[in-house]
Amino acid sequence: MSWESFLYMGGYALYVWPAYGVTALVLVGTLIWPVFQRKQLLRQLTIKQKRSQAR
């Protein structure tokens, strides 16, 4: 099996490679999104805490 035939995927490359790409993006997004959510939540909690202490 040559690299060219592997990349061509028996004529289905236009369907297979985008599917791999979308899957990779979803997996990376699933790993990164909670980090951003946590940072945002911590910022909001810090602001609320500072407001309550100022009263």
Q: Please give the residue range of the domain that contains residue 8.
A: 3-54
Tally of structural domains, the chain: 1
- Express each pLDDT in 1-55 by its tens digit: 788 888 888 899 999 999 999 999 999 999 999 999 999 999 999 999 999 998 7
Task: Collapse the DSSP code of 55 into the 3-class scheme (helix H, G, I; strand E, B; otherwise coil) and give the result.
Answer: coil
The answer to whether the CB of 16 falls within 8 A of the CB of 10 is: no
pLDDT of residue 20: 96
φ/ψ bin of 9: left (φ > 0), alpha (ψ from -120 to 50), beta (otherwise): left
Helix, strand, coil percentages for the chain (3-state, nearest 5): 95, 0, 5
pLDDT of residue 6: 84
